[in-house]
Every structure is written in structure tokens, then in C-alpha cells.
Chain A
Amino acid sequence: MYRYDEFDAAFVAERVAQFKDQVARRLAGELTDEQFRPLRLQNGVYLQLHAYMLRIAVPYGTLASRQMRMLAHIARRYDRGYGHFTTRQNIQFNWPALADCPAILSELASVEMHAIQTSGNNIRNVTADQFAGAAADEIEDPRPYCEILRQWSSLHPEFSFLPRKFKIAVTGAARDRAAIQVHDIGYHIVRNAAGEIGFTCYVGGGLGRTPLIGHKIRDFLPKADLLAYTAAVVRIYNLEGRRDNKFKARIKILVHDKGAGAIRAEVEEEFARNPEPAIRLPQKEIDRIRAYFALPALPPRSSHSAGFAARRAKDPAFARFVERNVVAHKVEGYGIVTVSLKPIGGIPGDITAEQMDAVADLAERYSHDEVRVAHEQNLVLPHVALDDLPAVFDRLSETGLATANVGLVTDIIACPGLDYCGLATARSIPVAQRISERFEARSREIGELKINISGCINACGHHHVGHIGILGLEKKGVESYQITLGGSADENCAIGEVVGPGFSSEEIVDAVETLVDTYLKVRNGKDEDFLAAYRRVGMAPFKEALYERA
């Protein structure tokens, strides 16, 4: 994985020193809150409902064991012994003292981590497929291009004060696991008719109060032009995006208002103008960055592991874990293991310091020192030999991390909601917990079903792209939950449709069960998952089942 060079190390160290001074000046009263707020936000420090919150960047969701151990250390020393992985592959600590934040950032810098651009109107953490570099269906690892974008966009003088935040995602496989079409820019690595590898570019996707799917504005962008084309898009947005209304300031609104065709023409014109020839990427530089992400040396192994097969045959719990949490690796004899952070009745994305250490140990011993963070709020061990899977499973079981539910109804995405967030209008976590408990016994019978929950219209829980989406609102002082159906974040991206009037906190889990039972009645066998069935039969039977009780 990428290692800081001298420039990176100096740049992050300077930022830590700056912020240490800024915090000292704030605590001494030399800076007002108004003056200090943008400075703390630029370093990932928010003030939430109960305390400060520190959001730490995990570039393209890739962590080394020593970085995971540092997160565990921070959780123990400066927070309350746990952290929360987010839907943008970052981690948040919910209870740090402002006075400790410079020390935390200094400790993070020692393992090449920071919190820069995890807030503010700039280019945020670039996200990627959590299986990048390991997936059997991958054309090319997207992370080198994420890293190139990260280096280019960090403290970029032209793009540090955009109209609003700007999110880029890159995926390298036909199957989109990075939700690229609901990002400001989504890059999909593709191969053209000539066999060359480049990017399809989507612009103007996003969720929040105005959910929109990105428009394809380029079928094929050569790798060398990645930065120049990105700069053209962001420059057009920087010049034309609205600054008079925060709620209409994202690029998706500009694309929607002007039309994708007009934006495409402007971007292409700006790109052709080529104002910065220096950012055309030389192959040598691409190769230099790609070398950091080279596949680890994986000794050849047979696709048939006797130990793995024997354990699978005799241990149903292990067999279920393999069925749900392990997918094919590009190298024979290895698997990609998803570590679910969705224990039944637990808090989606939360992990204790002890569990972080356990995952770090497993990564070091069995996964070539790598951990990934998925935007679904799970972790991934990307390079595990099939022979080692029983040992990995046993250790995960000991630490409460072996829940075999990836992709099932209990693998719920949920934002922190009103239990933590200053913006939230309703709680998300308790709803997720109750749904998880309700469906535990029959989750495998139900099959693939993504439930996403947001505690306000800002949609951090990505409810619009859940097969079942739940949006928590406040109506006359009481929580009310609106349901959407048919959303999807993959390559067949869709925004869910609102099914009807909302449900109270007491009613919402029953309502979800009604939807699930309806699906089970209408599906054409177990091979037709919830989304496929919904797309075939439409909203009507679900709506009828939900509201016939009224």
C-alpha cells in the first residue's frame, strides 16, 4: 500500500503543528468560535450533539495493521474505547476533547494518517471498491488512481473553497461496489474496443435532500488525462455552482439545471483548453504509484484446501460464514473475507478497541497486513488463504466479529442518527437494531436484501439506494419513518420510490416485516432477490400490504 514520501510526511506534520497552534489560540481566547470553526472543520473536528467528533480519513478504505492498532490506541486513550466506521470508508470518534485533538492528529501522523479534508467544501476522501486489488472480477485496481487524485486534491489552492463538498469514487470491476453513480464524480475503470484501459466518467450524482443519479459524460477517458479531466469538471463546478443556497450548491444541482449535455460540452471545452499541461499523467508516474499497490506475493495454492473443505463440511456455522462473508480472490486458493460490523442487535459500523486490535492481528498474520473499510460499514481482509480461513473464523468468533450476514437483511447501513448527530431529526441505530433482531432467524431464507437507514434528509445512511430505505424525520415532535423501495447503489443504480405516509417508531419494524413477507409471497423462488422481485412486480403489492391495515 501507499507509503508517505518526505513531502507527504512534512505536509502532514506541518498541518498538525498548525492545528496545535490554532487550538491553543482558541483555548486562550485569541480566536473566536467564528474564526476557529472553519479551522477545526478543515481538520475533521465537528461539534456534535454530546461532544466533539473527530473524523479521520481512510484513503480509499485501505488500512495497514499498524494504522488499525493506532485507531485502537486512540479509542482507548482519547475516546471511550470504540470507533465508528462510516459510509465514506472513514472512521469517527464520538467523544474526543478539543484539547486532545492535536495530540491525536500527531499520533495519527506517526502512522501516515490524518483528518485533512474530511470536512469542508473541498474534495473529500476518494473512495473505492473495498475489494480493490483482490477481486476476481476486476479490470484494474482503482486505488492507484484514488491515490493520484488524493495527492493532487490535497489542499489544492483552486479547489479548497468550492461551493460545497465534493466526493469522488472509483471502481475497477464491472460490478460497482463503490456506488460511483451517486457521487459528484464517479470513475469506472473500463477496457475500450482497442483493449486500452481507461475510465468512464459519471458526473452529478448524489443523495441528500435531492437524490440524483450521475450522468455519463465520457465513455472512455485515457488514464493520462485523469487529473486534467477531473480538474475541468471541478473548475466548471467551482465557477458555476451556486453559492447563494447551501441546499442547491452541489454539482448535481448544476448538472440537473443546465443539463448533462451542456455540462459535458463545457467540461470538454475546458479539458481541450488544456490550461495545465503539467497535470497530464506520465506513464512512469502512474507506474510509480501502482507499484505501491502491487498484489502481495501470494504463494501458489490449490483451489482445493483439504482443511477448509473438511471444516466446511462438519461445521455449519463456518459453512454459513463462508457462504455469506467470503468471495473469490483473483488468485487461486485465496479468498476475500468481509468482517461484518453488524452483529445481531448491534450498532452498524461500531467496533471496540479490542476488536480493532484483533482485526489488526488477523490482517498481519493472514492478510498480508491489509484491512479494508467498506462503505457498507464492514471491514475486509482482502488476501486470506483458504487454508487459513478456519483459524480466521475462530479468532473472529472469539471477538464477536464472525456474524455471517453480509448482504442479508441484518447487514444494515445506518448513520449515527439522533443518538449522536447534531443534524439528525430521528434515531437510526435503534431502528437498525430492532430490525436486525426481528429478522435474525430467517435472514438466510429472505436472501439478499439491503436496508439503509438515515436519521435525516442529509442521507448519510444512503437510504435512497437501499432496496428498502428508511428516512427518519420529526413530525410534531415525534419520530416518523418514511420508507422508500427499489433503490440500488450498484451498476444498475436506482433511487428508491417513496411508498407512502410514514410510520411511527413503534410501527416501523412491523412495516418492514410486512414488506419482507410480501416479497416472500411474490418472489419467483429463492433466486429472485428482493430488488429483482420489486422491479418485476412494482410498488403496488407492497403498498397495498403496508396500508391495507389502516
Chain B
Amino acid sequence: MLQVVSANRLVDGTVVYLGPQDHWVERLEAAAVFANEAECETGLEKARAAVAANLIVDPFAVAVVEEAGVRRAVSMRDAIRALGPSIAYGTAERR
């Protein structure tokens, strides 16, 4: 199954993904995709280096699928993590 590497940015906690140029990007669509779990290990290795460099925390592999050109996380937890809360919140909720 396709994999991407995700984490939270240390300074503000924002959900980030390892991008193709080894930068950390905020959109799942912009993440580097690995063909399987074995290949994803290289991405996780880069993530561990980013942890050591105090850029991110708690990296892990996220299973994704691509259907009709749209990428989405397989699990509901990772999908909510990618898209944000499934409910309108704050002032948006009160509109």
C-alpha cells in the first residue's frame, strides 16, 4: 500500500508531511509517496534525522490511496488529521 511520512512540526504542532525535496509540507497532496512500507523506511529515516534536528516530533508512516487523481489517507484518524476536524468550529460554528 502507498505510504507517506507524517509528523507534527515542533514549534507549533502543525501536521506536516515529508515532501519530495525532503522539506516538510503541510498538505497531504504535496507529500512524497512511497510505493510500500519497505520503501517508506527511507522516508522514516529522514524523519528521524529531522527529529534530531528539532524540526518535527512523532513521525510515522501513513497509508494512503490515490483514486481518480485524489490522494487520501486510508484510516479515518489519518484522514481527519490531514483535513482538520470534520466539524465547523469556533466562529464558523456560530454562523
A127 interface contact, C-beta 8 A:
no
- Chosen A-B contacts, 29 in total, with CB atoms closer than 8 Å, are A33-B51, A33-B57, A47-B57, A49-B77, A49-B80, A50-B13, A50-B14, A50-B84, A50-B85, A52-B12, A94-B89, A95-B13, A97-B12, A98-B10, A98-B11, A98-B12, A98-B13, A99-B12, A347-B87, A347-B89, A352-B90, A352-B91, A354-B91, A418-B76, A418-B77, A419-B86, A433-B87, A477-B74, A477-B75
When the two chains form the complex, which single residue of B8, B14, B15, B89 contacts A350, counting CB atoms closer than 8 Å?
A: B89
Give the residues in chain A near B86, CB-CB below 8 Å.
419, 427, 430
Cα distance, A50 to B86, chains bound together (Å)? 12
B93 interface contact, C-beta 8 A:
yes
Contact between A47 and B93, CB atoms less than 8 A apart: no
Give the residue among B13, B51, B85 with the most A Cβ atoms within 10 A: B13
Contact between B93 and A347, CB atoms less than 8 A apart: yes
In the A-B complex, the 3 residue pairs with the smallest Cβ-Cβ separation, listed nearest first, are A97-B12, A51-B13, A52-B13
Contact between A27 and B13, CB atoms less than 8 A apart: no
Question: From residue A485, how far is it (CB to closest CB) to chain B in Å?
Answer: 27
- Residue of A whose beta carbon sits closest to that of B86: A419
- Residue of B whose beta carbon sits closest to that of A433: B87
Please count how many residues in chain B sit with their CB below 8 Å of the partner chain's CB atoms. 27
B interface footprint on A397-437 (CB within 8 Å = 1, 0 otherwise): 00010000000000000000011100010010110010000
B46 interface contact, C-beta 8 A:
no
Residues of B within 8 A of A (CB): 8, 10-15, 51, 53-54, 57-58, 74-77, 80-81, 84-87, 89-91, 93-94
Contact between B58 and A47, CB atoms less than 8 A apart: yes
When the two chains form the complex, which single residue of A95, A99, A419 contacts B80, counting CB atoms closer than 8 Å?
A: A419
A346 interface contact, C-beta 8 A:
yes
Residues of A within 8 A of B (CB): 26-29, 33, 47-52, 80-82, 94-99, 346-347, 350, 352, 354, 400, 418-420, 424, 427, 429-430, 433, 474, 477-479
Contact between B90 and A51, CB atoms less than 8 A apart: no
Whether A479 contacts B76 in the complex (CB less than 8 A), given A47-B8, A350-B93, A430-B87, comes out as yes
Cα distance, A430 to B15, chains bound together (Å)? 22
9 A-B pairs besides A419-B86, A427-B86 with CB distance below 8 A are A50-B13, A50-B81, A81-B91, A82-B90, A95-B13, A99-B11, A419-B80, A420-B85, A479-B76
Contact between A429 and B87, CB atoms less than 8 A apart: yes
Cα distance, A51 to B91, chains bound together (Å)? 19
- Residue of A whose beta carbon sits closest to that of B54: A29
Give the residues in chain B near A477, CB-CB below 8 Å.
74-76
Contact between A97 and B87, CB atoms less than 8 A apart: no
Cα distance, A52 to B18, chains bound together (Å)? 20
- Residue of A whose beta carbon sits closest to that of B56: A33
When the two chains form the complex, which single residue of B54, B74, B84, B90 contacts A81, counting CB atoms closer than 8 Å?
A: B90
Question: From residue A346, how far is it (CB to closest CB) to chain B in Å?
Answer: 6
Question: From residue A397, how far is it (CB to closest CB) to chain B in Å?
Answer: 14
Cα distance, A48 to B89, chains bound together (Å)? 16
Cα distance, A351 to B8, chains bound together (Å)? 26
Cα distance, A424 to B80, chains bound together (Å)? 12
When the two chains form the complex, which single residue of B12, B57, B93 contacts A346, counting CB atoms closer than 8 Å?
A: B93
Cα distance, A474 to B77, chains bound together (Å)? 10
Give the residues in chain B near A51, CB-CB below 8 Å.
8, 12-15
Question: From residue B27, how far is it (CB to closest CB) to chain A in Å?
Answer: 14
Contact between B15 and A50, CB atoms less than 8 A apart: yes
Cα distance, A33 to B54, chains bound together (Å)? 9
Cα distance, A81 to B89, chains bound together (Å)? 9
Give the residues in chain B near A430, CB-CB below 8 Å.
86-87
Give the residues in chain B near A352, CB-CB below 8 Å.
90-91, 94
